[in-house]
Amino acid sequence: MSILNVAIIGTGGITLQNHLPGLALCRDVRVHALCDANPATLETARQQTGAAIYATSWQDIVIRDDVHAVIIATPNFLHPEIAIAAAQHGKHILCEKPLALNATDAQRMLDEAERAGVRHMTAFTYRFVPAMRYLSHLIDQGELGTPYHYRCLRLQDWGTRNLGWRQVRKFAGTGEIGDMLSHRINFAQYLVGPVRRLVANLKNRTPVRDGAPNDTDDWVAILAEFTNQATGVLESSKLASGHNESWRSLDHVELNGSAATFQFTTGKWNELQAGRLGGSGLKPLSVPPEFWVWPGSPRDPSVGDPLVSFRYDQAVEFINAIREQRPCAIPFNDGVAAQRVMDAAVKSTEVGQWVEVSNL
């Protein structure tokens, strides 16, 4: 099989934590080119990969004929222009979430990728948690019955430390809603369906973080109605003191349906809590081993920290979709749909009213 050359644009935190170890699992794939605006960050990644090509300008990377696919892991505001240029040069694209600063730009990314006929994927990494996949399977089997309520709670303690580009709206778009709740909005749409309307509040309680201005939200809550009449309550905060700042802090999803209730917690990667209509309470439900890795992934689930290693399956899915010439499991469409909900939540906060979620 011919070698697939991947370029990574933005070689900071998530590239080192996730994209490089994920690509290392993929057969016949080379991290061929690296790009970061910061030469020191670029050098760190170069030493870890031995990539042949490295640049501080992404424009030099997307035009190269020897680059077949790009991973975009820059601050959010750069995603659309890089992705659109990459698509126009025929590169397959895995782009970090949130796809863009607004749904119009996210839709442009999707349209360009479709026009170019390239594979496109949104890095909604938590979709690769084994328990999340099993939950989706149970719903598909009819175990939930009619969905009544979706509930999610993401609580972290980030204190008032400086978040860099993440606390500057023109670079990040939003704060907590784009950074953390976007994943849980995606779960909601994946497990329950499209959101029809919502009322939301985004709140900034830390206008100064470690001496630097913050014009983004650090708390968000959404009350939602899905097109299938199910209701949703979504909350996420960076200011839940004592809850820890990591993937080990509280990340809870609950679904109540006419037949059953299921709970999912990222911290319990291979277990759900389940209860049946009229039953005596929720009980643990083990995730069967066939769900422990993504289909087609060579990952050994007993190697490494299971709360980290499921994320590596994301790169495997991207590469396998390219090889198999099929759509990626979590295409840009998912990123666009989540962005529409985020745009509606921002608008609802501004007008103080319920808002219909736009279909553009």
Ligand X SMILES: NC(=O)c1ccc[n+]([C@@H]2O[C@H](COP(=O)([O-])OP(=O)(O)OC[C@H]3O[C@@H](n4cnc5c(N)ncnc54)[C@H](O)[C@@H]3O)[C@@H](O)[C@H]2O)c1
Nearer Cβ to ligand X (97/340): 97
Q: For 253-286, give one letter per residue: b (16+ CB within 10 A) or e.
A: bbbbbeebbbbbbbebbbbbbbbeeeeeebeebe
Lay out the site mask for ligand X across 194-233 (x = CB under 6 A, - = otherwise).
Answer: ----------------------------------------
CB 216 within 8 A of CB 182: no
Of 126, 154, 186, 150, whose CA–CA distance to 262 is shortest?
Answer: 150
Cis preceding linkage at 98, omega within 30: yes
Q: 167 or 273: whose CB is closer to ligand X?
A: 167
Residue 38 binds to ligand X (criterion: CB under 6 A) = yes
User: 3-state DSSP call for residue 294?
Assistant: coil
Does residue 37 bind ligand X (CB under 6 A)?
yes
Q: Residue 96, interface with ligand X (CB under 6 A)? A: yes
Shortest Cβ 58–ligand X spacing (Å):
5
Choose the stretch contacting ligand X; rule: CB under 6 A; options: 4-12, 63-71, 191-199, 282-290. 4-12
Q: Which is nearer to ligand X, 92 or 127 (by Cβ)?
A: 127
Site for ligand X in 145-164 (CB under 6 A): 164
- Residue 35 binding ligand X, by CB under 6 A: yes
Using the rule CB under 6 A, which residue among 7, 8, 10, 46 binds ligand X? 10
Query: Rule CB under 6 A: is residue 342 a binding residue for ligand X?
Result: no
**Using the 8-state DSSP alphabet, how is residue 274 labeled?**
E
Q: Name the DSSP letter for residue 278.
A: T
Q: Is 313 in the site for ligand X (CB under 6 A)?
A: no
74 part of the interface to ligand X, by CB under 6 A: yes
Q: Decide if residue 132 touches ligand X (CB under 6 A).
A: no
Q: Closest distance between ligand X and the C-beta of residue 95, in Å?
A: 8
Per CB under 6 A, 78 contacts ligand X: yes
Q: In this structure, how many other beta carbons lie within 10 angstroms of the beta carbon of residue 44?
A: 17
Out of 73, 220, 287, 315, point to the residue binding ligand X (CB under 6 A): 73
Alpha helix positions (H), the chain: 13-14, 20-24, 39-49, 59-62, 79-88, 103-116, 130-140, 169-172, 176, 182-191, 306-309, 313-324, 332-351
12 binds ligand X (CB under 6 A): yes
257 binds ligand X (CB under 6 A): no
DSSP 357: P
Q: Kindly tell me the burial class for residue 167, based on how many C-beta atoms sit within 10 Å of its own C-beta (0-12, 13-18, 19 or more).
A: buried
Q: How far apart are CA 229 and CA 184, in angstroms?
A: 19
Exposure string (b/e) for 191-206, b if CB count within 10 Å is 16 or more? Answer: bbeebeebbbebeeeb
Of 13 and 295, which CB lies nearer to ligand X in the complex structure?
A: 13
Q: Least separation, in Å, of the C-beta of 191 and ligand X?
A: 18
Q: Which stretch binds ligand X (CB under 6 A): 32-40, 63-71, 133-141, 280-288?
A: 32-40
HSE value, Cβ hemisphere, 13 Å, CA-based, for 208: 3
Binding mask 260-279 vs ligand X (x if CB under 6 A, - otherwise)?
A: --------------------
Binding positions for ligand X, rule: CB under 6 A:
9-14, 35-38, 41, 58, 73-76, 78, 96-97, 123, 125, 164, 179
